[in-house]
Every structure is written in structure tokens, then in C-alpha cells.
Amino acid sequence: MNPTQEISAAQLQQLLLAYRQFVEQELFPKDLDVVKGPFKSYLPALKALREKAKSLGLFAPHLAKDEGGLGLNLVQFAQVSEILGQSPIGHYVFNCNAPDIGNMELLHQFGSEEQKEKWLGPLQRGEIRSCFAMTEPQLPGSNPVHMATTATRDGEEYVIQGHKWFTTAADGAQFTIVMAVTNPDASSPYQKASMILLPLDTPGYTLVRNISIMGEAGEDYLSHAEVKFEQCRVPVSHRIGLEGQGFALAQERLGPGRIHHCMRWIGICERAFDMLCRRALSRELEVGKALADKQTIQNWIAESRAEIKASRLMVLDTAQKMQEHGAKAVKEDISTIKFFVADVLMKVIDRAIQVHGALGITDDTLLSFWYRHERGARIYDGPDEVHKSALARSILKNYGSK
């Protein structure tokens, strides 16, 4: 996942232009139909788009060149991610979609050679998909140390028992990485869990359902599943990293992941903002008087532009610091961008819906899709309230707070 060589600023701009052209010419005309679904019916067309991205040398930009990618560093990839985020299928087509990208990072950094050959390689090449099973329906995801799923050692196997949900893209995936308690008696709650790779054809694994999100269950990549593990047996060699290292690995995954999420959200904001402005100019309240003439609409346009620009600069600054000093050194910045950009995202989408009027709440535009599926931005990867509290406590320590 590390870049194999630096690219110049001019080369990066040419690359960003190539991505922008692909997204606008190839994805914009198709993405509304794809998200209306059924998603699986579009898999052949999406596979063809993936092959075209490969032929143009644009596939998997986050990977090193010797792994089939472009060797972009975090800051460079963040700028690509914003462009891809303007389409709901952008990251999928270029094989840098969550949760696959996070799983690639985990396996690249901590996977065994066997795991890399059997699972990471096909995942990087876009031949398979994966999912990540952590959140549980009976316990608060905002405090993940409370976990009921267990992986009990039995000789050279783990026996996994548990119930997870919001396992994104489990439908159609070939494997999951399960967070499960392996060391229940550990002195620290952060050393109780491990990450274990489980193929989804393992006996005892069940995909219970694709969870309906504000009336839409979705399928395949565009879905969130409820899953059960009932006495699932996997070899100990399927564990990723050391036993009890699960939460430490999760933090390694979440740092860059929040950069990816935030830049994708900014991409959504840009598309929604474009739709807002076009609608404001084209919709006439009466002959010769457009919505754009109204001061409230002008305020929304100005505020949205300022907030999107502030978000972008804030995230790129955090990405630069993370790239230079590591995720641990920028914990405050990571919390800040997470809740700030999630809030801007919902504001911009809501304003765009309001400007579209009744059309905005239909499925005739992408706005309703994003409103349904991105409201979770303020919940997943740590609720906004948790990040705000953590940031405030960290700041107050500088003032002598204990």
C-alpha cells in the first residue's frame, strides 16, 4: 500500500483530470440507474467499467505500483477520492471502496504470506469482495470494547460464536474479518479482542438479511447485512496479527479510513452543490424570476461553498500530518474532521433537496439516495458526539483538566 515513487504536482493534476473525465463521462450517465437497482443486474456493466479503468491505468489508485496500483500517497489519494465520491459507484469501479480498502490495508500491513496470497491478491485485483464484522445489535457501537462475539481456541482452530450487523457489503462477499473476544481475562479491555479472517462459505455462518435503511434494503455492494456466526470453525492461521491485538489493528484501519470517508463526503457535497446551483437557476417561480434570485437561496449557495472549501482544506491538512507523523499524532484532527465534514455533508444535501422542492425527495435524482445512506455518516466510525467529547477533553488537558 506504500507508494513506490513520488509523482510530480503536474503529473497529479493530469491524473486528477483523467479521473474527473472518467467519472463525468462514464459514471454520471449510469449511476442513478445503478443505485435504483437491482444492483446485481448491473454487475456485468460495472465489471466492464472496472476493466476500462484498468486499461487506462486508473485502477486501485491507493495501491503500490508493484501491486497493480498507482503508488499514490495519502494526500494524493485523498484528492482522487473526492472526485470518485461524486458518484455513488465511483470507489467501487476503481476498487478503492470501503470496506475492501480498509481490509486491504490490514492484510497488507499485518497479514501472513498465506493470507496475502489467498485473499489480499484477489482483493487487490478486484476479483473478490470482502466485508468487516464488528458492530453488534445488542451492544453500543459507540463503545466497542463491549463485545459479545467470541472466538474460543480449540487446538489449532478458533470457534466463533456471535451476532453482528451493519456488516457492509456482506452480500456477495467472499470473506469477512471478524472482531471477536479471544482474551476475555485480559487486564485491559483493549486487549481482549482479535481480528480473524473467515471465509463466508464456512459452516455456521448465516447472512440473516440485508438491513432496510430508511426503506431500502439494497443488495450486494450497496447493502448492510445482519449476520450470525454459530460455532464457525477456522484455523488459527486465519488470525490477523497477534492475539488480543484487534483494537490496535482497528485503529490502524480507522485513521486513514476517516480521511477516505471525509473526502468521499466532500465529493458528494460537490455533486449536490452543482445540482443545487443548476436547479436554482433553471427553476422559475414566475416568468423571468428564478429561485437563484432569492436571498435565502443565495445564502445557502455561499454558505455551502465556504463550508465545502473549509472541509477540503481541513481534511487535506490532516492527511498531510498523518502522512508525516502517523495517525496517533493527529488524533484531535481526525476527530475534528469526522464530525465537521459529516455535518457539512448533511447540510449541503438538505439544502439541495430543499431547492429541488418535491423533486428532491423523489428517487428521480441522487439526492434521496444520499440522504438515506449518508445520514449514517454522523453515526458510523464513532458517533459525532463521541468525537466532540474526545476532542474537548483533549483540549481541556492543555488547561490543566484531569
Verify cis geometry, omega within 30 degrees of 0, for the bond prior to 184: no
Give the three-class secondary structure for 109.
helix
For all residues of the chain together, what is the average pLDDT?
Answer: 95
pLDDT of residue 1: 52
Interval 33-53: pLDDT, tens? 999 999 999 999 999 999 999
Q: pLDDT (tens digit, 9 = 90+) per residue, 241-252?
A: 999 999 999 888
- Per-residue pLDDT at 381: 84
Q: SS3 letters for 210-244?
A: ECCECCECEECCEEEEEEEEEEEEEEHHHEECCCC
- CATH number for the segment(s) 248-397: 1.20.140.10
Domain 9-97, classified CATH 3.20.20.80, yes or no:
no
Q: Indicate the DSSP class of residue 182.
A: S
Residue ranges per domain, the chain? 9-97, 130-244, 248-397
Q: What confidence score (pLDDT) does residue 107 get?
A: 97
Write phi, then psi, for 316 (nearest 5 degrees).
-65, -35
Homologous superfamily of domain range 130-244: Butyryl-CoA Dehydrogenase, subunit A, domain 2 (2.40.110.10)
Q: What is the pLDDT of residue 402?
A: 78
Residues 126, 95: Cα–Cα separation, whole Å? 6
**Alpha-carbon 217 to chain mean position:** 18
284: left (phi over 0), alpha (psi -120 to 50) or beta: beta
| Distance separating the N- and C-terminal Cα atoms of the chain | 39
- Which residues, other chains included, contact 9 with Cβ-Cβ below 8 Å and sequence gap of 6+? none
Residues forming a β-bridge with 195: 179, 240
pLDDT confidence of residue 143:
82
**Closest by Cα among 49, 101, 47 to 74:** 101
d(C-alpha 393, C-alpha 381), whole Å: 19
pLDDT under 50 in the chain at which residues?
Answer: 3-4
Which pLDDT value is given to residue 5?
55
Q: How many helices (H) and strands (E) does the chain have?
A: 13, 11
Q: Which class for 244: exposed (0-12), middle (13-18), buried (19 or more C-beta within 10 A)?
A: middle
Give me the count of residues in the chain: 402
Is residue 82 a contact partner of residue 268, using CB atoms and an 8 Å limit? no
pTM: 0.95
List the beta strands (DSSP E) in 54-95: none
